[in-house]
Structure 1
């Protein structure tokens, strides 16, 4: 410790000499040293703990929550040094002493980002694209694929836990895309499986907001949340594509959307019964009053109020006719 204190004093004197000198260079003092206070000695004790950490790990990037085996909160101490440096309250000699440590940084997050970008640019220069496979590991062992995946996950997290500047930086690189990370939430996949069950049973992925699956799952509310996230730009493109591929899925509950959902139910009725002929009292398996809907289309047709495109579409369904069908006529 005595040697460390002597070194600190030399560094302190040198830094102050440089600070007070009008010359561009001040020689390192070798014959004098400033007195070291008790407070400085305590600081040097903690510096020694940092050196021990560096010896163990090979870097000075101490996690914020890290504690030494004896309970010394080294992570908090390191953070305090960086904060003091940012607000210009850290003594210059202490700053200079910290900067002598291998891997020391005043902004480790920025350094990590710069290191990742350097790896990304090197990969892009070699491969002609910034599209990085998820499992890619660089020759120096850097897990570039995992880092890229983390950035995409941050982007699609719903809170956009990545700064606009970093988003712009990545998007400026040719080949970069945000849809490389596919969410794998089991709860989401289970909800989608319930929606597929609904499609298989009812012929459409359209579910009202209050619809409840047979196992008690609020499938209608889940579907509404997916639409809300899509409108807010927070639904992952892969999930959006999966939902849109389901027959009858709609992003809005517009009048046209409801009509389209009814047609999907009619198609399901056709597939099951071999005809699009629906009696006025018929109720679809999901409780939808399909017979009443069909009767309403016929009434609008008689009044010449049904859109010609809808008329043409209904007439393509085998068994459809414009004559009202009662139960006795079935």
Structure 2
């Protein structure tokens, strides 16, 4: 551009000095504009015309032949064109927003791929207004909040869109309740509501208020958590499975097993096993569980797998940081099971045979139940307390087998948790021991024995008999 030098304060009046700018830096339209100024100044009459012409001509001569210079006209007015254009664009977007609210009832549009009406991308326009929300005027903000109070929420916009879908369901079917375990709610909406209930304490206060408008207030959330058969998110089950595997080293749990927070881990894993079998291929959740325990879903009974883990840890020791799970079988019972499985190895699944082959051999002494003839389960001190409780022996009808030997057989069967048919021969016929067990169970003799205070060495078999009486087997 060409512009005049600033005149010094004490400079004498004279023609204006013009800066010279190289042609490569000059706009194309400057030259014709200056020539037009020269022509108009030459045509003007009087002193002013001649003075103006002289100034312009001196400027033209100063830049050399073929080059012209002059004063660029300045913009007149206050320059509100951009402001007016911005207000015009906002008004257009507001009209599109009104039309969308009239049709859908909200402004929770995605940032991209929004609805385009009459060539206008409303989703992208709203995204721009959310980014520049601080620069909006108070009137513009009030207009948008009048259309949708949650047009710019402090939480993710996806959450707000899901809430609007839930609101439509509530308008048609009434408020949702936590006490009925969200019965009758569509599957997609049910999963979203369960996630909100599970993480209710992590939500924004405004989100909690919006959920309360759907019917899920604090009381309903508590009722949902108190529901006995409620379904929990897969993430909760996976977290409980990870904790159990880290604590006990496997996932071969029984159905009644529960996590410390009350989560029904056993039933949840059983449901996942059924899902794996019905789907015919490993699911993503199944692959994650396989990473925790390669034999969490074996093709044989889970009880067999649990006994294998017991024998494995009894022989090799528990891993660092692991502990025995509740009702884990004792060493003698697990070794008895292992002896029986190896004896009938040919009848097992090939995978079971491979697992048995991975177990180290039992290098210690064999279990007394398998080798010692006439071994006493009940100590002499304990028998002295039990003997007065035993019913009187019958003399008629054949030889009556002694009470103490049968008490030893009952104690051994309960402690090793083996079938009656596997009772060692030195305890006598298993049928006799079983019939005596049922008779003493019926007349209350066994309950009296389990209520006695016996020596410490007899606590193991006494506790095992107590558990068997509770099971009724």
TM-score tier by shorter-chain length is: 0.3 to 0.5
| TM-score, normalisation: structure 1 | 0.44
| TM-score, normalisation: structure 2 | 0.33
Compare relative contact order (CA 8 Å, sep 6+) and give the higher one, 1 or 2: 1
